[in-house]
Structure 1
Amino acid sequence: MAHEIQLISDGIGLAVIGDPAAVDAFLASAGMPSRELDTRRLSRVVGGRWVKLTQVPAQVLDTYGLRANGTSDAPTGALAGVMAQLALEQARDEVDDYVAGTGTRIDDLLRAQADTAVAGMIRAQAAIEEALTHRADAGGIPETTLSTAQGTSLIVAYTQAYALRRLRALADRFEGAETSDDRAAAAEQAASAAQEWLAVVARSLQLQDSLQVLELDRMLDSALEELDHYLEHLRFARNERLEVLSKACTRLVERIDAAIAAARDAVAPDSALLRTVIESRDRVVVTVRDFEDGLGIESGREALDAHR
């Protein structure tokens, strides 16, 4: 029937499937932002929209229980792949917003590094964006364009690892800080550089997500029988990367907290050096919070709130 819709969730997003008018009316009534669900690969699906699960009002889930005049089953087959692509595209947009908010000129930062391989991520981004543009405009990607984009995965991973090393170096500098002056200098450096390297990490993760979108196109077109296994691997690998990033952020904050404790033992409570370390720590916490919120990383807030 034309008025029927179906709600299907994979734990990350919510697919609202049915007559386009009914789908639009349902989304409007719930006030949920959505993305168009590409139904070209979905048999017997007239129309649909996709909503990030965290943007679904609680009362919608309470009322419908993922059921609206239809059934609610875990998505399988092509629908699962299309929903995964939409989740990755949503994450891409969120990274764009985050990076724009930092004001970091990522290309300039990469070009300035002594490790010239890192600057290769600029070319990698151009290749991946070209493939995505073909995908959006023409509905398909020339084989050479796709091959060039997929060939950049090692460059992106290398640059991500490089940026993480720079973040760890900011944290490690506190271990060698023996005086209050050293601690203050380390804290100021962390406050000024952490945001830049976190922006590079975010961009690299975004490019990895983009490559996954392209790979899912291939799976949906020619390897549908392998899709469930691939999606399981994709989610595991992405969660692992986010966990590594979260730990790097937490480690940096913990090192600054240790420096604050050491400074309090060594200088007067109203010391300018102690104030410098605490103020720098506050800047780093804001930077880390913005990064984790921008990438949808859920981590414990205890360490971040230790020295408000």
Structure 2
Amino acid sequence: MSDASVTTQEITVVKDGHGLLFLGDPKEIKAWLDDRGLASREFATKALRAGGSAVQTAAKVSSESGRWVKLTKDSAKLLEKYGKAGAIQPGVVQKSNGQIVKWLRFENPSQLFSPAMATGVAGMMTQMALEQAIQEITDYLKSIDEKVGDLLQDQKDQIVADLIGVVFEVDEAAAIRDKTGTLSDAAWSKLAPCAQTTSRALGYALTKLQVISDKLSRAESVDKIEHVLSTAKDDVPAWLVMVSRAVQTRDKLSVIELERAYAELPEVLEEHRLGIVEARRERLGKVKVRIDALREVLELSADRVREEKLLHPFAVDSVLAILDSLMEQTSQFSKGLDIEMDEKVIERAPEWLDVAGKIAGDVASGAANGAQQLGGAIADGAGALGEAAGKGAADLGAAVADGVQGLGKAIGNVDLKKAAESLPFKLPFGK
């Protein structure tokens, strides 16, 4: 590739636990990433000026900006292809038009930037990850039924009302920050109580979901499970929305907090960043535990319900449909919040005729086995019967006569045809 018409564009890559930062010509980077189907976000230049320093080593690139890519299975494949884990590894990639792009990967930003700049870049990368998470939750909330949002609005709980108020406050503050580039002390002071409110709302919503899980766990029959689901089918999606809103709002607060820290308190930026990352990890960990528990209960409830298909065919189908819908909603929720969860599917009950046929077969088999056992018992007891007859034939005859008369009266009061027709299966014998 010594042709003078082919220029080499150097791209520097910084990796952390959440994403990849590509420094260089943003247009070149975007085109290259687009070719590989990787979505990216523009990286703001102010992070590269953190601490009042200009870009040093990074000044080799054509621009003080670039693109950020979320670390996923697809983007990780780039590292596997062009980089080697555990060390700085240069790689060479070629664009579709033949242009060579040099890839330089640095695991530690401090090897590329001064300490102050490395801290600023790390903070900005965390902010980019948060903004990506915020957008994904926004997309999730847009994708679900609008009625769910209305259900949350209709909740009379004060904590729900408080969260809705905080959402407005934080969005307004973010709008001011975007327009002015900063946030005044007065505006920041208004946001101070918001973190506690979002935490309280998150805990409240998770508790409500736990209550529903407990009720389903205690419901042992299809009618009791159906009763719990009569309200849970609306409450579960409403509380999932509240959890999403609480997590999203807390992420927005964290973004504002990070910007304020590296603008006014750069010396504590790294502490803020690490604290925010760890707090979010613990927050999502609590959400995962509670949603996993709910999904497990949904699955167990479905298993119990399917056993009652013969006697309650319509109720079982209705309940399984609701359980399946709730399971699907928790799957959408987990994807929207980027929480990994095991795949769970609510299996439908077999057809009623299949269930009835199996039971009829079991009844027939049981009847045959019972007949054999009865025949053996009669044969074994023949001698004993003869001996008993010899000792008290008169008493035995009287008892049998009374028993036959009583049995005849009982049978005479029963419409055997209707009884047979009402059975959920045909009897395995004739009239």
- Give the TM-score of the pair, scaled to structure 1: 0.89
- The separation in 1 between residues aligned to 2:136 and 2:209, in whole angstroms, is 22
The structure with higher relative contact order (CA 8 Å, sep 6+) is 1
Distance 1:300 1:31, change over 3 A: closer
Distance 1:69 1:110, change over 3 A: closer
Distance 1:268 1:294, change over 3 A: same
Residue of structure 1 aligned with 2:17, choices 11, 21, 35: 11
State whether structure 2 residue 286 is matched by structure 1 residue 244.
Answer: yes
Distance 1:56 1:49, change over 3 A: farther
Report SS of the residue matched to 2:342: coil
Corresponding residue of 1:74: 108
- Give per-residue Cα distances to partners, 1:167-218, cap 9 Å, x unaligned: 1122121234244211122234333321121011101100000010011012
Residue of structure 2 aligned with 1:166, choices 191, 203, 208: 208
Structure 2: tracts of 5 or more residues without a match: 1-6, 49-53, 59-63, 84-88, 91-101, 110-117, 349-431
Report SS of the residue matched to 1:166: helix
What's the offset of the Cα at 1:82? Answer: 0.4
Name the Cα RMSD after superposition.
2.5
Q: Is the 8 A contact 1:125 1:207 kept in 2?
A: yes
Q: Is the 8 A contact 2:222 2:308 kept in 1?
A: yes
What's the offset of the Cα at 1:105? Answer: 5.6
Q: Is the 8 A contact 1:13 1:50 kept in 2?
A: yes
Alignment of 1:189-200 (within 5 A): 189-200=231-242
- The separation in 2 between residues aligned to 1:57 and 1:117, in whole angstroms, is 40
Report SS of the residue matched to 1:70: strand
- Give per-residue Cα distances to partners, 1:11-53, cap 9 Å, x unaligned: 2111000233443443344332211111123131511111111
- The separation in 1 between residues aligned to 2:73 and 2:304, in whole angstroms, is 43
Alignment of 1:208-287 (within 5 A): 208-266=250-308, 268=310, 271-287=313-329
Structure 1: 4+ residue segments shifted above 6 A: none
Q: Identify the range of structure 1 (28-37 vs 51-60) with the bigger mean alpha-carbon deviation.
A: 51-60
What's the offset of the Cα at 1:284? Answer: 1.1
What's the offset of the Cα at 1:106? Answer: 6.7
Structure 1: tracts of 5 or more residues without a match: none
Distance 1:87 1:253, change over 3 A: same
Identical residues among aligned pairs (%) = 30
Corresponding residue of 2:330: 288
Larger Rg: 2
- Give the TM-score of the pair, scaled to structure 2: 0.65
State whether structure 2 residue 142 is matched by structure 1 residue 100.
Answer: yes
Corresponding residue of 1:23: 29
Distance 1:183 1:17, change over 3 A: same
- The separation in 1 between residues aligned to 2:25 and 2:295, in whole angstroms, is 50
Corresponding residue of 1:183: 225
- The separation in 1 between residues aligned to 2:341 and 2:45, in whole angstroms, is 35
- Give per-residue Cα distances to partners, 1:242-271, cap 9 Å, x unaligned: 122122222222223332333344552762
| Letter aligned with residue 33 of structure 2 | L
Distance 1:59 1:10, change over 3 A: closer
- The separation in 2 between residues aligned to 1:21 and 1:179, in whole angstroms, is 62
Corresponding residue of 2:70: 52
What's the offset of the Cα at 1:108? Answer: 4.5
| Letter aligned with residue 231 of structure 2 | Q
Report SS of the residue matched to 2:47: coil
What's the offset of the Cα at 1:61? Answer: 2.3
